[in-house]
Structure 1
Amino acid sequence: MLTADLLLTGYQIGIFPMADLDGSIGWYAPDPRAVLPLDQFHVPKTLAKTVRRGVFEVEVNRDFEGTVRACAAPAPGREVTWISEDVVHAYSELHRMGLAHSVECWRDGDFAGGLYGVALGGAFFGESMVSRQRDASKVALVALVERLRAGGFAMLDTQMTTPHLERFGVTEIPRAVFERDLEAALRVRGDWWALDR
């Protein structure tokens, strides 16, 4: 059974869980590993306009479990996801401990999209993102990076890369380099709430 303590142990050594189709939990350590260097984050011009226009109301932790469940929901071309009920419960437990967070976009009172992940030391482990309205998850990513920069975080782990993430500057590094950088990032005291003070 997946627990908050197991998650914490896994993240500290650079592995993360995913549920298989039968619901069993597997642990993964990709090589290379995808990270988004916070000092090289690139916001495409059209997205920057969307952010400036304030199309979405950006919230933090307004509905953490709802965000995780939205990420788990089937979508065209993705009928099954790696987010099982065990995963939802374990991350919700981490959230109650103040270590898992969501960045959400809302519009006219409706959830439009967002992302969630885990903050440990100066590392943020991005887990999943979802859009119900165009650009919502991208706006949430921009807000996440702003928050991590303000809080002195040293690492944003995206685990694996996608064409979607590559547009923002995600890069792949050898696992050995990731482990070294992770060890350093965990010694940093990141402040998730710095932006709100």
Structure 2
Amino acid sequence: MIPWLSPHNNRFPSPHEALDEPDGLLAAGGDLSIERLISAYRHGIFPWFSDEDPILWWSPNPRCVLKPRDIHISRSMRKAIRKQHYRITFDQAFSEVIELCSSSRDRVGNTWITDEMKHAYTALHQQGIAHSLEVWRDGTLVGGLYGLAIGKLFFGESMFSLEVNTSKVAYIALAKQLEHWRYALIDCQVQNDHLNSLGASEISRAEFLEYIKLNIDEDPGHEWQFELSNEQLIQTDD
């Protein structure tokens, strides 16, 4: 049995109480208020559920992460970036990005980005906590991602590609910019081949929570709304 969260406060069980199977399931219930979501991420917890489920809260062990300086760009990816004329923007099209991410399907054909999730993360964006990164080609949005920035940590949520490699371009641009801003870590939640190819790796839950403890209250001291040209993206890499 997992605990059912009280609607009267935003407290969570310790992440160390999460189940081993399914890995990381910690609690159910509560809501997706701004206050509860911030409390969750500050404790290494995130929501993930389908339309037919109650709200489910997770803290997997191990945790998939990327240190921004460890981003891996393959030779073929470098060539693709140089060949295309991408424009990279931050916080220019959050609603479009989350909508396109929600169109992606999991292994059983469901989307986990429900309408409730979209409303919640849009509210976080309006508060300057959730952010998007967009990849444009010839004025058309072709890739992107979104997540939360708290302190010197970025909690990645989802990405999409409408053309080959454009979600990778978004992830590379994010990592390069976060390295410039001296962020400690990108939380990737759960490992997959796509993230592994970009340099992500797994650490223990205990180590992840230590990163949070050390970096969650740091002042990032920067603005999110700006853009990078394709040439600038290549420059930051070279």
- Tell whether the structures are fold-level matches, with TM greater than 0.5: yes
CA distance in 2 between counterparts of 1:43 and 1:118 reads: 23
Match of 1:80 in 2: 110
Aligned-pair CA distance for 1:75: 4.7
2:191 aligned with 1:161, yes or no? yes
Whether the aligned pair in 2 keeps the contact of 1:123 and 1:190 (CA below 8 Å) is no
1:101 equivalent in structure 2: 131
CA gap of 1:97–1:36, structure 2 versus 1, over 3 A, is: same
C-alpha contact (below 8 Å) 2:91/2:131 kept by paired residues: yes
Matches of 2:97 and 2:146, distance apart in 1: 7
CA RMSD of aligned residues (A): 2.0
- Mapped to 1, the partners of 2:79 and 2:71 lie a distance apart of 16
Residue 33 to residue 89, structure 1, CA distance change in 2 (3 Å): same
The amino acid that maps onto 1:37 is K
AA aligned to 1:89 is H
Q: Which amino acid aligns with 1:138?
A: K
TM-score (norm 1): 0.92
Answer yes or no: is the 8 Å Cα contact 2:102–2:114 preserved in 1: yes
Could you list the runs of 5+ residues in structure 2 that have no partner in the other structure? 1-30, 228-238
CA distance in 1, matches of 2:44, 2:123: 20
1:17 paired with 2:51, answer: no
* Correspondence for 1:110: 140
The verdict on how the C-alpha distance between 1:188 and 1:53 changes in structure 2, with shifts beyond 3 A counting, is farther
The reply to whether residue 184 of structure 1 matches residue 214 of structure 2 is yes
- Paired position in structure 2 for 1:61: 91
- Tell me how far apart the structure 2 counterparts of residues 19 and 33 of structure 1 sit (CA, whole Å): 18
- Establish whether residue 120 from structure 1 lines up as the match of residue 167 from structure 2: no
Shift of 1:78: 5.6
- Report the secondary structure of 1:30's partner residue: coil
- Larger radius of gyration between Structure 1 and Structure 2: 2
> Are 1:143 and 2:173 counterparts?
yes
One-letter code aligned to 1:59: T
- Scaled by the length of structure 2, the TM-score of the pair is 0.77
Does structure 1 retain, via aligned residues, the 8 Å contact 2:181–2:220? yes
1:37 and 2:67 matched: yes
What does residue 163 of structure 2 align with?
133
AA partner of residue 193 (structure 1) = E
Q: Which SS does the other structure have where 1:19 is aligned?
A: coil
* Aligned residue pairs, count: 197
Is the 2:48–2:58 contact (alpha carbons within 8 Å) kept by the matching residues of 1? Answer: yes
Larger RCO of the pair (alpha carbons < 8 Å, separation 6+): 1
